[in-house]
A and B are shown apart, each in its own frame.
Chain A
């Protein structure tokens, strides 16, 4: 990894005068406030060994540098839930990588004071200096609710600042108040005595809140909720919204994706022309530029997905949709919230796994992360197209059907694996859904943009470095040791130079070049590994060339088609139909066809199910909190893929179609 130059994201915030933890109920505006205070200079980290995320940022209060820690929202510090325990640990200074906080910034929602005061009480009782930020004051006053911050301040015995986290109103006052954070000396009820706590909260609300609350448009909200969670109407609405979401992602992301490929293509071409021929040029052009292009190309999809999901989450719809999907997903041991990652995985498993944090329960979340790569991502498409072309060249209707079948196979494998995981490794009672249904709100573009930026940056920094390293290694394996071109190729080249006809000479040169490339790959480490590993894939009907194709696609699946093109067709222009034809007609060493119907069918099934994406593994390790999960994912998916591919081959052969 490159040295971290961004001063705000140093691992141990040493120059800060203190750490302030942001604590509050879910959905009260903690993150909005955090973003207001820290801007873009935030760094998301997983809490050690968990999938729970804390975000660290730096802000200046009265000239003091303060590290702010944004934690997930919790209803209480004493609940038997990982989130709740993490927040409690963080406050107690027991969280690795976060020093004991100097103060707690309690965020309460002005429109729901009674409930928010419970966690305020718990935070005040920790004995740390506290400050209270009261958000949603704009909504409160719109509803005719007046809140007396001075009175609250008096009763809680610590600064209380009314703010509007969305517009930024009151933020400056809050910044000054943070340095006045104080240990409350007010008499606070023990959280164990629930009756007293409610009494205390109610008493404070009576004192501090006034005004006649305008009756809100309850009928309207009831109707919206009824429609949104309705078994049929809700499902239709859900399908429409999701279809729209993915249409927008696919339609809009393709433009920047093409552009990225174009730009990297040009950069590669330019470097190719200026660098002297040799290992360095190969490394820079094919390894580094190629690897970067392969990473950055995912960025538009990731940015768009998170932007749109953040907008959707902000409207309040996602909480309703979770109930709709819960009816279907619960049968497979997954909660309703798992639908966002599961759907996103059809675009790319990387953003899908990154969005698994919408799933509240740790076990559920791990199950989702583990099975997400089973779902057919867009990188599998070129492989499907190639293999379906081989299998059903003259039967497009059947090809279409099998194509849909590939998607179905991925979904079935994912759901069954999730069920299995929840029954064995991630055993535990499925938590019945309890979900606050937030008010319908106009989504904030600012929040969505910040979320997208945050995720995109995280992806580039964490995954990008790993991905790049892996791509370089794979490139090296397939490029070295460099071998002498075979005699056949040299002879052909000599012949070509003697042929008068320019066109014929050129085609002979190309042929010579292709023989040389093929021989180089065969003699490279990758080629040797391919030959060595081939017995493993022999039962599936793959020769050493297909084995190399399968092996190299561990970097990324789409590499398969270009590897095969290089390997058996001597060119890597996979758009060229002639090259595709040559792949289809390629021979094994003993002269039989490389892609028979049975080996093509088993290859297709293998590609549907196998974990062949190192970038995804890197992201799994990050999000699940350890490489052991990534290894489990790799092992399980490869085993399932191998077995299913073998069964497929047997069935096709038994059907007499080989």
Chain B
């Protein structure tokens, strides 16, 4: 198992599992309500500003302020 990274460190095209502490920001509840829940598998469609992730077929754009705070474990 690799150590947890943040969403912003992953490169485009890779997949990751959202870690338990989804997000330390005030946006945490919103992100979870949008489907970015712990344990979900996300695919990074674009990295940077914005970071675009796909979770269960839904695309969500996140500004870097947020993507650098979302903890993930890289998925194989």
Contact = CB atoms under 8 A, between A and B. Distances in A.
Interface string B24-59: 011101111111011100000110011010101111
Given A222-B45, A229-B46, A229-B50, A433 B61 contact: yes
B34 A327 contact: no
A436 B63 contact: no
B24 to A, nearest CB: 13
A80 B29 contact: yes
A224 to B, nearest CB: 10
A78 interface: yes
A140 to B, nearest CB: 11
Interface residues of A, number: 37
Contacts of B49: 323, 327
Given A76-B33, A115-B34, A198-B39, A435 B46 contact: no
B52 A432 contact: no
B46 A226 contact: yes
Interface in A386-442: 429, 431-439
B19 interface: no
A435 B60 contact: yes
B52 A75 contact: no
Nearest to A335: B63
A216 B57 CA distance: 9
Given A79-B33, A225-B46, A436 B59 contact: yes
Contacts of A320: 61
Interface in A171-230: 194, 198, 213, 216, 218, 221-222, 225-226, 229
Contacts of B35: 112, 114-115
A463 to B, nearest CB: 34
B29 A229 contact: no
B65 interface: yes
A19 interface: no
A111 B60 contact: no
A277 to B, nearest CB: 65
A221 B49 CA distance: 18
B7 interface: no
B31 A434 contact: yes
A118 B52 contact: no
Contact of A111 (B33, B57, B61, B62): B57
A437 B59 CA distance: 5
A194 B32 contact: yes
Given A76-B29, A78-B29, A112-B57, A432 B63 contact: yes
B37 to A, nearest CB: 5
Contacts of A115: 33-35, 56, 58
A544 B71 CA distance: 67
B21 to A, nearest CB: 12
A180 B58 CA distance: 32
A654 B54 CA distance: 61
Contact of A323 (B33, B45, B50): B50
A112 B59 CA distance: 11
A326 B61 CA distance: 12
Q: Which of B26, B33, B66 has the most CB of A within 10 A?
A: B33
A215 to B, nearest CB: 10
A198 B33 CA distance: 10
Nearest to B55: A115
B39 A437 contact: no
Interface in A523-555: none
A320 B46 CA distance: 12
Contact of B60 (A198, A229, A431, A434): A434
7 contacts: A111-B57, A229-B50, A323-B49, A326-B63, A327-B49, A429-B26, A437-B59
The 3 A-B residue pairs whose C-beta atoms are closest, nearest first, are A75-B33, A76-B33, A432-B65
